[in-house]
Structure 1
C-alpha cells in the first residue's frame, strides 16, 4: 500500500470512533429514572478490559513491542474491509440504542417502568449494542493488521460477555418467564455462535 494515501485513510477509523463517542455522550438525553444500578466494582470488572483494549489501539506501535507485529499482510482490501466493518458496527450500535430509547444506560441498571424490548435489532440478538461494538473493534483490528488489535478484540469480547451475563441475571429477575422465553428465541451476542 502506498504510505501517503494509507496514512490519510487511517484517519477515517479514529474519526468514526470520535463521532460515535460524541453521539454516545450527547445522545443520552431523556432516560428513565434508575431504580437499581451496579456497583463501581462490578463496573470495573468490564471497564478495565475495555480500557486496555482501547489503549492497545491508541498507544504507538513501538510501545507495544511484539504485539505490533503484523498478523495479516496489509492491503487495500483488508483495510477497506476493516473500515467497512467499523462503519457497520458503529452504525448498528446507534440503531440499537435508538430503538432501546429511554431504557438505555451505559451501565447495568434497572429503570422505572423498564420495558423488555424484543423488536428491531433486539429481535434476534439480545445485546446488539455489544455486537456492533465487537464488529467495530474487529474492523479496527483488521485495518491495523497487528496482533495488538487481535488482543484488543479478545479483551473486548471478555469484557462484554462479563457485562451481558450480569445484565441477563438482572433481566431474568425483573422480567422472569418473559425474559427466559426471549433467551430461547434469540442469541446473546453473535447470531449462530453465542
Structure 2
C-alpha cells in the first residue's frame, strides 16, 4: 500500500470516528427511525468501504484495479479524499443537533445556512462524494467506481426527499435559500 492509500484510510477512519463521536449529540427525531433505517446506513458503509479497498487485495476482474498506479493520479485522489472528509466534518460540526442519518424532522429543527451551507445546500453529500471519487482514484477499482456511481444515484434520491421535507418545514424560507445557494457544487449546481 502506498502513502496515498494510507492517507485515504486515515481520512475515512477520522470520518467514521467523528460520526460515531457525535451520533448521540443530535436533537430527537419527531418520528422514531425504523429498524431498517438504523441498520441500512452502517451496512451501506461496510459495502462501500469494502468495494473501495478490495482492489488492494484482488487483482484483475471486476474487483481489481483498472486505473494505472500513477503517483500523480493517486496524489490528486488522496488530496480530494482528505478535502472531502474535511468538508464533511466542517458541515457536520456546523449542522450540529440538526443532523440526522435519515430524512426526518427533528424537535426544534432549524434551517442552517452558515459555514459551508452558505456555499451549497448539502455540503456533507458534496464532501462525501468528493472523498469517494478521490479514493477511487487511489485504489483504482472498477467495483469502487460502480458503487460510487450507485451511491451517487441513491444520494440524489435522498437529497430530493430532504429538499421536499425542508420546503415543508420552512415554507418560503427554504425556497429563497434554494435560489441563493447551489445544491452540491458551489457556483455550478
Fold shared, TM-score > 0.5 on shorter chain: yes
Aligned match for 1:87, one of 67, 82, 96: 82
For 2:28, the equivalent position in structure 1 comes to 33
**Post-superposition offset of 1:41:** 6.0
TM-score (norm 2): 0.85
Is structure 2 residue 5 aligned with structure 1 residue 10?
A: yes
Post-superposition CA distance 1:35-59 (Å, at most 9, x none): 1356566788988766543332143
Which moves more between the two structures, 40-49 or 177-186? 40-49
* Root mean square deviation, CA, Å: 2.6
CA distance in 2, matches of 1:167, 1:33: 17
Aligned match for 1:65, one of 41, 61, 66: 61
For 2:159, the equivalent position in structure 1 comes to 164
For 1:3, the equivalent position in structure 2 comes to none
Alignment of 1:93-104 (within 5 A): 93-104=88-99
CA gap 1:46/1:105 in 2 versus in 1, 3 angstroms: closer
Give yes or no for contact 2:4–2:75 (8 Å, CA) kept in 1: no
Give yes or no for contact 1:125–1:186 (8 Å, CA) kept in 2: yes
CA gap 1:166/1:40 in 2 versus in 1, 3 angstroms: farther
Post-superposition CA distance 1:8-30 (Å, at most 9, x none): 54222122211210111112343
Is structure 2 residue 149 aligned with structure 1 residue 148?
A: no
